[in-house]
């Protein structure tokens, strides 16, 4: 029995999120079904993190044990042969027994895409949030700068464990202009539930003048007892990468997201150096 790590990409549009459910199509359910056709017998997959309904991934990481005699390249081809068109295994590698994609991670990276237009663009609707009126770039950058560092993010999300801490360390939080909008690039040691989507919604409010920068900074400095209202829609969010080595985290902090999330440009932009 060998132990494997795999990197997955998927379009989350037609899924009820990552986690397997009794009813409804999920990414985990599709991947486990493909593995079972190859003789996989474990009760459940180990994975880096759950994504919500409509959220996409370029670098979801899974781990599993399988009796497979044909090598990692053949395993990748076999899995992809059994997976639907909106999920792909990007790479497979051998790992040590006991490797857990969630607990071994040093950092995670997310991208959030938005475009500015008075009416919707059907070619971006699955992968970006439409905002209007346009955003003030300087305000966006000032709002992002307030996120960096180690702090209590209780205003922006809840921990996986109800008794868990809401303290997280953000290594990078930056907005990059694109042809007709912006992309938010954030790297942290871990994220709270829906934390990135709240980050985005509230920064957009600052950039549109609906929230003052001072209030945003105060929310981060002195979290209120309840979650702040405001949640960006799921379709603009991508789990871009999970980092397991310090040099991977450094690369995440220094690189930029691709211009447009779609038509293959995103997949080509993410390096697979971790495998």
**Residue-wise pLDDT tens digits, 127-184:** 999 999 999 999 999 999 999 999 999 999 999 888 899 999 999 999 999 988 999 9
Q: Specify the pLDDT at position 268.
A: 53
pLDDT-above-70 percentage for the chain:
94
CATH of the domain at 74: 3.30.70.580
Tally of domains in the chain: 2
* 69, part of any domain: yes
Q: Specify the pLDDT at position 272.
A: 60
CA within 13 Å, CB half, 195: 29
Residues 44, 90: one domain?
Answer: yes
* 272, part of any domain: no
Q: State the catalytic residues.
A: 52
CATH of the domain at 154: 3.30.70.660
Q: Mean per-residue pLDDT for 47-63? A: 97
Q: Specify the pLDDT at position 202.
A: 98
Cβ within 8 Å of residue 207, ≥6 positions away: 135, 136, 137, 139, 140, 143
SS (H, E, C) the chain: CEEEEEEEEECHHHCCCCCCCCCCCCHHHHHHHHHHCCCCCCCCCEECCCCCCCCEEEEEEEEEEECCCCCHHHHHHHHHHHCCCCEEEEEEEECCCCCCCCCCCCEEEEEEEEEECCCCCCCCCCCCEEECCCCCHHHHHHHHHCCCEEEECCCCCECCCCCCCCEEEEEEEEEEEECCEEEEEEEECCCCECHHHHHHHHHHHHHCCCCCHHHHHHHHHCCCCCCCCCCCCHHHEEEEEEECCHHHHHHHHHCCCCCCCCCCHHHHHCCCCCC
* 211, part of any domain: yes
The domain in which residue 125 lies consists of 107-181+190-244
Q: Specify the pLDDT at position 91.
A: 96
Residues 165, 128: one domain?
Answer: yes
Residues 199, 82: one domain?
Answer: no
């Amino acid at each position: 029995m060998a132990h494997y790590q795999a990197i997955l990409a998927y379009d989350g549009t037609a899924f009820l999120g990552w986690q397997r459910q009794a009813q409804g199509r999920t990414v985990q359910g599709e991947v486990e079904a493909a593995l079972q056709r190859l003789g996989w017998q474990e009760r459940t997959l180990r994975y880096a993190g759950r994504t919500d309904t409509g959220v996409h991934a370029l670098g979801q990481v899974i781990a599993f044990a399988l009796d497979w005699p044909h090598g990692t390249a053949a395993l990748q081809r076999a899995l992809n042969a059994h997976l639907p068109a909106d999920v792909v295994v990007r790479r497979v590698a051998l790992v040590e027994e006991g490797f857990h994609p969630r607990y071994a991670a040093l950092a995670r990276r997310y991208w959030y895409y938005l475009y500015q237009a008075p009416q919707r663009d059907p070619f971006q609707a699955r992968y970006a949030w439409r905002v209007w009126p346009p955003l003030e770039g300087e305000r966006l950058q000032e709002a992002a700068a307030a996120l960096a560092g180690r702090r209590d993010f209780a205003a922006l999300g809840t921990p996986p464990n109800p008794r868990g801490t809401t303290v997280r360390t953000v290594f990078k939080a930056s907005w990059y202009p694109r042809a007709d909008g912006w992309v938010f690039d954030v790297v942290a040691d871990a994220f709270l539930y829906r934390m990135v989507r709240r980050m985005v919604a509230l920064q957009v409010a600052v950039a549109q003048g609906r929230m003052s920068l001072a209030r945003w900074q105060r929310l981060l400095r002195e979290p209120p007892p309840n979650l702040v209202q405001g949640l960006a829609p799921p379709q603009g969010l991508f789990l871009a990468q999970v980092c397991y080595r310090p040099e991977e985290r450094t690369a995440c902090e220094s690189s930029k997201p691709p211009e447009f999330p779609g038509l293959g440009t995103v997949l080509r932009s993410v390096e697979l150096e971790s495998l």
